[in-house]
A and B are shown apart, each in its own frame.
Chain A
Amino acid sequence: MPKAESLIFELSRPGRGATAQYPAAGAEADVPAAFRRRRRPPLPEVSELQAVRHYTRLSQLNFGIDTHFYPLGSCTMKYNPRACNSLAMLPGFLGRHPLAPTSTGQGVLACLFELQEMLKHVTGMAGVSLTPMAGAQGEFAGVAMIRAYHRARGDHARNEIIVPDAAHGTNPATATMCGMKVREIPTLADGDVDLAALEAALSPATAGIMLTNPSTLGVFERRIVEIARKVHAAGGLLYYDGANLNAILGKVRPGDMGFDVIHMNLHKTFSTPHGGGGPGCGAVGVGQRLLPHMPLPVVGREGDGYRWLDERDLPASIGRLSGFMGNTGVLLRAWVYMRILGAAGMRRVSEYSTLNANYLLARLREAGFEAAYPGRRASHEFIVTLKREARELGVTAMDFAKRLLDHGYHAPTTYFPLLVPECLLIEPTESETREELDGFVDALAAIRHEAATDAATVKAAPHTMPVRRLDDVRAARQLDVAWKPVTA
């Protein structure tokens, strides 16, 4: 990898600029003096080539799916087909103002309507709203709808959300944002939810439960029907965290499992880009009970045309979550992906991602690594625990992760879920070849061998990246989060 790159501000020289990008000169308009800015903003002054070279070089300091195997568990780092990007960026879609009359947007609305319909069928839900801008916002919408449902029935005592200890941190954070209390329940040694603990947690205060299935432990919750029955009998609703929807696409549907509301991470299952941390998209699907409460807007069909349904159409909606219609460009990418894949392709997604995960797990166990849930099938991801390596060799999951970078593999998710010590959560996705998976096994085996013979090298990894391990404590204590111009 290339070496470090200067800050754009350090390349700046007064008077330099990408002048072709400026509008034509001539307009000398200004705001009245009382409103005026006194000092020019400290932005860089560089040529167009300098900017292009700088950001090209910065990109080369990254691992991405296009350059490296990226088995980041729970993130579904699959191939992002290029067509999804180029078609979402057609000028007619890209140049359209969101508030332009819908008569000028029937094409984009047709795509979004089809996407809503496809997502409904894939999840077995009664309605879909595309507006939440990320998984966490989809979760927010889901819990807000659960709250609205209980309130609409005059059931004001329900203010608790049950969350298994294996859940993503967003689940409890979302419940809190919605003004709910969080009740955490434990997971059994085999990875399933502790039903006795669930029963003890259920009460007239139960608003609902948030579950990921397959769970973040990489296993399918086998007693989901029983869980749904118990929660419903207690008057609560079931929320499905769609983080792992990729594992079950076309095999089983959350709606059939008994879930009342679901969010889908379109940037995972439906392959819209992760973009270095966003944009995401957290479309929500709902069962009959929550249909009136869906977030706005939703695309509706009227005769041959489409329009946005708003507060007049859904007066009991929880309301709006974004300035316009959510992340439309992301939705268009998901639409392209789903149309290219089709129904049979979607089933292949869950089949090959599950095949890849189980193959990788089998190979790693042959190589002597310990599965966290050895008695279970892997879903599209699985957990390896390195507690033995940590104890015997003094080399942690973090050390393995860092050394993997030197072998040309992005590290799996480390130290999540929190209940498995020294864990790697590994999700290969359906996009990878067998050769890639074999290479990854060889790399992990080589690192373990190295750990036994030369632990210091592993503990000091990475050795080939632009930087060595970074001082996170210093980053937090001596906070440097913005470049400031040197003032004389």
Chain B
Amino acid sequence: MLDRIGAGSIDDLFDEIPPALRIDALPGVPEALPEMDVARLAGARATGDGLPLNFIGAGAYEHHIPAPVWALVTRGEIYSAYTPYQAEASQGTLQIMYEYQSMIAGLTAMDVSNASLYDGASALAEACLMAVRAHRRSKSARILVPATVNPTWRRVAEVITEGQGLKLEVLPYDPATGCVDAKALARFAGEDITAIVVQQPNFFGQLEDADGLTRWARANGALVIAAVNPVALALVAPPGEWGDGGADIAVGDAQPFGVPLSSGGPYVGFMACRMEHVRQMPGRIAGRTVDTEGKPGFTLTLQAREQHIRRAKATSNICTNQGLLMTAATIHLALLGPTGLERVARACLARTAELVAALTQVPGVRAAFAGPRFHEAVLRLDRPAGPVLEALAAEGIVGGLDLARDFPEFGNALLVCATETRNSADIETYARALARVLGRAAAA
């Protein structure tokens, strides 16, 4: 091969790199290991991390993943393909995108969906930027973000939108209900507000008055950005039907559809909107069209919004979607269908009610809010949650999220979650362990 090139050695192929910059070793990088040795090392570490019984949600949810999902997703034709730039050789990926978009549009009751964004948090950030582009009459770039929205999502939205001058203003919640404080919201009436974010169910698991908040936004000239849990949408009113006329943009994380917790990612952000805003939407979109013989087929469309065409004037710098995870979500939803998804959502509701009932039987534990919730709840403890969670972890239980950092006003509180994957025995195990941990501490 070198003869064909006319080079004396492989080294000669790097002769345009200034010699002073060249290195001939990589100190600090370990030497190669055979696959079996890496497998052994990875296996030992994964086993060491164990399989604790999990009761945290807070934006990532443990659900049953049907066996076909990842058997199909890891087929080489899906796993090792890339962005469908050559549409004729990528009809599988493109049709899956179209089916995914259809499912998300149907679930959220919005007109159109893109083919996914990175995750729920970054999808919320993109929705804020999109709202500012879409709402031409509003000049303020002010967006109201309730304190009941996932606090990490809010921080991510601040980081990503700050460079473009957006002002995200925190809207307080009513400490009695754990929902947006309507009186605090009323104080913004008549002001130039670009959009309001409504998370349903909210970070505490409580159901917000999404209809009332949407009506307020309409009356005050603000757009509505819905941040929704997609499993809850099997039972709870979808953003497209909120208030009078629905939300403008709906985002969330489709991780609950076939995507494992996987220590934090990769997950899959979704975004849907009203048709009138579609040209402001970031991310890839697949469209159905016809070929030169009139046969239906799929292609990437509305690419004039995107960075590889518009460069500095693009709607976002995003290039990829979360193709593999979007595929998992699509297959997951195809397997569950409307009946299966509804069964999952009802089981989540029932298990969470059972969990809250069991844990609040333990002395020193009470529920923070009474109103309707989906599959999470805030529990107040009579002592700091951190050491309690560590003691539970030692017993193989991941007992919830300590809220001390993000919500110090609660004093000592936990956010707990139960999906359809937790059964009565699991819940009883947790309740007994919690009683033991709290009792032991009380006795000490």
* Residues of chain B with a CB closer than 8 A to A28's CB: 346, 350
Q: Would A37 and B263 be within 8 Å (CB), given that A62-B89, A173-B311, A250-B26 are in contact?
A: no
B290 to chain A, nearest CB (A): 5
Which residue from A5, A135, A479 sits with its C-beta under 8 Å from B319?
A: A135
Q: Would A252 and B22 be within 8 Å (CB), given that A43-B103, A144-B159, A274-B83 are in contact?
A: yes
The chain A residue sitting closest to B334, CB to CB, is A51
* Residues of chain B with a CB closer than 8 A to A77's CB: 80, 82
B64 at the interface (CB under 8 A from A): yes
* Residues of chain B with a CB closer than 8 A to A253's CB: 21, 23
On whether the beta carbons of B265 and A279 are closer than 8 Å, the reply is yes
24 A/B residue pairs, CB under 8 Å, sorted by A: A12-B337, A17-B339, A18-B336, A19-B340, A21-B335, A28-B346, A41-B238, A43-B338, A51-B331, A95-B51, A133-B265, A134-B118, A169-B311, A177-B317, A248-B17, A278-B116, A325-B265, A336-B38, A340-B38, A343-B26, A351-B13, A377-B14, A467-B91, A481-B301
A247 to chain B, nearest CB (A): 9
Q: Of the 9-residue stretches B40-48, B130-138, B217-225, B425-433, which lies at the interface with chain A?
A: B40-48
On whether the beta carbons of A345 and B327 are closer than 8 Å, the reply is no
A166 at the interface (CB under 8 A from B): no
* Residues of chain A with a CB closer than 8 A to B189's CB: none
On whether the beta carbons of A277 and B323 are closer than 8 Å, the reply is yes
Most buried by B among A12, A36, A319, A466: A466
A27 at the interface (CB under 8 A from B): yes
On whether the beta carbons of B80 and A251 are closer than 8 Å, the reply is no
On whether the beta carbons of B64 and A21 are closer than 8 Å, the reply is yes
B256 at the interface (CB under 8 A from A): no
Q: Would A97 and B81 be within 8 Å (CB), given that A90-B46, A273-B324, A468-B88 are in contact?
A: no
Which residue from A169, A224, A339 sits with its C-beta under 8 Å from B307?
A: A169
* Residues of chain B with a CB closer than 8 A to A326's CB: 264-265
- Considering only residues 286-300 of chain B, those with a C-beta below 8 Å from chain A are 286-293, 295-299
Count residues of A near B (Cβ-Cβ below 8 Å). 194
Q: Would A60 and B92 be within 8 Å (CB), given that A107-B46, A136-B318, A320-B152 are in contact?
A: yes
On whether the beta carbons of B16 and A329 are closer than 8 Å, the reply is no
Q: Would A170 and B317 be within 8 Å (CB), given that A44-B337, A97-B54, A144-B163 are in contact?
A: yes
* Residues of chain B with a CB closer than 8 A to A173's CB: 307, 310-312, 314, 316-317
B181 at the interface (CB under 8 A from A): no
B66 at the interface (CB under 8 A from A): yes
Q: Of the 9-residue stretches B139-147, B229-237, B359-367, which lies at the interface with chain A?
A: B229-237
B353 at the interface (CB under 8 A from A): yes
On whether the beta carbons of A100 and B393 are closer than 8 Å, the reply is yes
Q: Would A342 and B30 be within 8 Å (CB), given that A104-B393, A323-B150 are in contact?
A: yes
Which residue from A27, A106, A338 sits with its C-beta under 8 Å from B49?
A: A106
* Residues of chain B with a CB closer than 8 A to A320's CB: 121, 152, 155-156, 159
A75 at the interface (CB under 8 A from B): yes
Which residue from A111, A319, A325 sits with its C-beta under 8 Å from B158?
A: A319
Most buried by A among B51, B91, B293: B91
* Residues of chain A with a CB closer than 8 A to B116's CB: 278
Ranked nearest first, the 8 interchain pairs of A and B with the lowest CB-CB distance are A66-B76, A342-B32, A107-B45, A275-B324, A92-B46, A98-B264, A121-B28, A324-B264
**Besides the contacts A136-B318, A328-B263, what 11 more A-B pairs have beta carbons closer than 8 Å?**
A7-B95, A34-B211, A37-B241, A43-B337, A43-B338, A45-B338, A61-B90, A94-B260, A278-B118, A339-B41, A481-B98
Report Cα–Cα, A136/B66, bound state, in Å.
Answer: 32
B18 at the interface (CB under 8 A from A): yes
B341 at the interface (CB under 8 A from A): yes
A63 to chain B, nearest CB (A): 4
A99 at the interface (CB under 8 A from B): yes
A392 at the interface (CB under 8 A from B): no
Q: Would A339 and B160 be within 8 Å (CB), given that A92-B49, A276-B93 are in contact?
A: no
- Considering only residues 78-105 of chain A, those with a C-beta below 8 Å from chain B are 80-81, 83, 85, 87-101, 103-105
B377 to chain A, nearest CB (A): 14
* Residues of chain A with a CB closer than 8 A to B150's CB: 323
* Residues of chain B with a CB closer than 8 A to A329's CB: 260, 262-263, 265-266
* Residues of chain A with a CB closer than 8 A to B409's CB: none
Mark contacts of A245-284 with chain B using CB atoms, 8 A cut-off: 1 yes-contact digit, 0 otherwise: 0001011110011000000000000000111111110000
Q: Of the 9-residue stretches A197-205, A229-237, A470-478, which lies at the interface with chain B?
A: A470-478
Report Cα–Cα, A92/B265, bound state, in Å.
Answer: 14
On whether the beta carbons of B4 and A359 are closer than 8 Å, the reply is yes
Report Cα–Cα, A35/B238, bound state, in Å.
Answer: 9
The chain A residue sitting closest to B30, CB to CB, is A342
Mark contacts of A452-473 with chain B using CB atoms, 8 A cut-off: 1 yes-contact digit, 0 otherwise: 0000000010100111111110
B42 to chain A, nearest CB (A): 4
Report Cα–Cα, A34/B237, bound state, in Å.
Answer: 9
B204 at the interface (CB under 8 A from A): no
Q: Would A4 and B91 be within 8 Å (CB), given that A248-B17, A273-B324, A482-B102 are in contact?
A: yes
